[in-house]
Every structure is written in C-alpha cells, then in structure tokens.
Structure 1
C-alpha cells in the first residue's frame, strides 16, 4: 500500500539549467577553498569544466552576480571574482522574503525574547573597554527624554542600533545576524509605519535604565544579571511596540 504522505507530497519544481550550473559553480568554489576577492576561471574554462554552452554559463554567472556571490570587473586586471554578501544585502533579500507574509510585532518579539537574553549572558565579562565605550556612546543619543514625537522616533532608532551593535560583538555570527535583522525590521517599521507616539518619559527612563544596568552587568561579568536585565527590557519593549502599533491603527481608522 502506498504511503499517503508520499502521495500528498507536491512534486519539486525542476530548476532551469542556468540555476543548476550556478549551484555547481558555488559548490566548486567551496571545494577549491576560494575566498572573497579570489579570481574565478575565465569563461572558456568554465564552459569546459561544466560542459555547458556559453549562453548557459553567462546566465549562471549573471545569477550569481545578482546574488552578490560574484563580482565582475572590467579593464586591465578585470574578470570575475568571488564576491562577499554584505549583511545589508542579506537583510534586504531576507526582508523581501517576509514582505508579503503577515509578520507581527509579537512574532518579532517572540524571537527577540528568546535570543537577546542569551546573547547578553554570553557577552558578560567578554567585551573590551572600546566595545563598552561604543555602547555607552550610543546611549548618549537619548541621554535626555524626547521633546517631540519626531525626536522620540530618532531616539528609538538609536536604541535599536544599541542592540544591533551588541549583536556584532558576539562570537556566534548566526545568533548575531538574526538579532541584528530583528533590529533592522523594527527600525524600518518605526520609520515607515510611524510606530511612535508622543514622548513617554516613564518608558524612556525605564528603557535607558535597563540598558545602563545591562552595561554594568556586562562589565562585572554577571551573566545571570545580564540575561535577566535583557529579558525585562525585551518584555517592556514588546508592550511599548504593541501599544504604538495600536495607536497607528487608531490613527489610520480615524483618517
């Protein structure tokens, strides 16, 4: 008797030849141990190596270039080189994936609450004086409570940069990337969806206190306090953003 789960499984769409060749080129780059900036073989050698037509090779290289994995230079010393996908480009591509999906503030903070306390605990006692000073410098951008909604927005964006920069300092690059991506999504929501209201001095004070307490815990190497402080900060931030999202909806309905 046939397995019903197999019968329900949708057939995998067949990938085009240029897409398959692009994947094969990526595999070959890894096998050869090439790094960003290393030169790739010329077109004739790629045609011979992969046994494909000139048109297929060129289309495969265009696909890799669009993904940021290949860079092409013209003129003397030109050619094709292994590229490096920047965090900004990766963020943009991943944001496009989520663009038509209903990602809510609660979804974002569910991820932040799970990840950021662990990042903070892992960094306790491991940050250099320069790194701690950089975080404290960011905090000076909201040293005083906002006097207007526009200033409130700018301060919120700066506070998100605090979290993104903290994520850069961790050794787990995957963890750091996801935390930074969450901060970028919230920054975009703040800017484009006007997720800010009139200044709230009480929330400003609590948020800044959390960050000051976090830095203190990081300095003295107290992982437990760093974890607990970050979790409290995330829970408060989620409530704030949910309230602001509700305000935006009320304004939208009123208009």
Structure 2
C-alpha cells in the first residue's frame, strides 16, 4: 500500500491526467527502488481502485485511470453497507445541504440548465397509475436533485447530494417501496419543484431556500413512512 501511495503522489507531482501513459514496469522498479513483485502488487492495488488502467495489444500498457462517479458511489455505498444508515440519517444531511444549495443557485442557472431540469420534471408530469410507475417517478424526482447539485460547480457538494439521491433511488427500487400511487404527495412534490424553479429563475435565494427546506421535510416524512412499511413487511 505504501508503494501504491508513492506512485499516486508521483502521478500528481508529474501533472499526469486520465489517459496519460505510465512508465513501464522496469522504469517503476528503478524509480521507486522496489522489487518486481512489490511494484506489481502496487499496480494491482491502483487498478482495483480504478486509478490505473491496463491495455493490451499494440499501444498497450498502463495508463492513468479516472474513477467514475458511479464507481465512487458504489464504493462509498459498500462502506455504509453494514452501518445501519437510516432514512433519518440521510435526511439530516439532505436538509442541511440542499436548501443552501438552492439558495446559492438562485439567478445563476442558464436557460439550458433550466430546460434540462424541466425535461426531468416532464417524466412525472402526470400522476402515476400503478406502483411501478410511482417508483419510477420517485427515482426521476431524485435525479432532479442530483442534477441540480451538479450545476453548483462544487464537485464535492454535487457528489454527496448525488450519492444520497442514488441511495434513496436504490432503496425505492430494491425494497420495492410505494405499493400504491399517492396523488396528493405527487401534487405537493411537483408543486415544490415548480416553485423552486421559479425562485431560481428570478434570483430569489431566500424563496429557493424556503421551498427546498419544505420539500425536504415533506420528503423525509414520506420516506420514513415507507421505511416503516418495509420494517412491518419483514417483521410481520
């Protein structure tokens, strides 16, 4: 692991970027003064982390890799897998982050970004007719929040809000939440998003923060109810 970290540090010092070729094995052995077995193990560790890619054939070799957002989300989800994270835990973070995100984006979205958010909302423009469509609409609604976070230009904020949206989407699908459509909640949730976009377009940060906070509180109550349904399903 120490040699793998040294190679990572060297990549940063050299200003290498994803896709750039790494030195061959012989050069790495000479540069880091380590045995062939140690260098190979370090490269295997970096490959497992997604930081090194190996290509075979003409023009092959080892190259700097880029860890995708989806892979990073999956690795982080594995970290939390046995830690009994609850809906309350997730929403404590969402309530802290997303209203402030909304306030900072007021008046800063381009027409193209607003159009993209409206296109996401068009996926659930009508109330669901069955449980399967209800779940799909909930996942699309979470995609709205993840995309909004990406517009902030803050990679860390976008990553964590997107991660929480992905966790909730996975729970919706794999735990088969929402056993029947709820038109009242659909109308309230969609109404919040319409109000939010209007506040963002007119540059009203205070209104954007207020609407997002109200939306998060409603979503928390909804998801906690669904969590209770799942627990009852397994216990009962």
TM-score, structure 2 normalization: 0.98
Is 1:220 the equivalent of 2:205? no
Aligned to 2:125: 143
The whole-number CA distance in structure 2 between the counterparts of 1:102 and 1:70 is 32
How big is the shift at 1:250? 2.1
Aligned to 2:165: 183
What is the 5 A alignment of 1:148-227? Answer: 148-227=130-209
**1:160/1:187 contact within 8 Å kept:** yes
What is the 5 A alignment of 1:1-255? Answer: 19-254=1-236
Superposed CA offset, 1:4-60 (max 9, x none): xxxxxxxxxxxxxxx110000001111111111111111111000111111110110
TM-score, structure 1 normalization: 0.91
Pair member with larger Rg:
1
How many pairs align?
236
**1:21/1:60 contact within 8 Å kept:** yes
How big is the shift at 1:197? 3.0
The whole-number CA distance in structure 1 between the counterparts of 2:157 and 2:94 is 11
The whole-number CA distance in structure 1 between the counterparts of 2:31 and 2:142 is 48
Q: Unpaired runs of 5+ in structure 1?
A: 1-18
**1:117/1:230 contact within 8 Å kept:** yes
How big is the shift at 1:244? 1.1
SS at match of 1:171: coil
Deviates more, 1:158-167 or 1:192-201: 192-201
SS at match of 1:181: helix
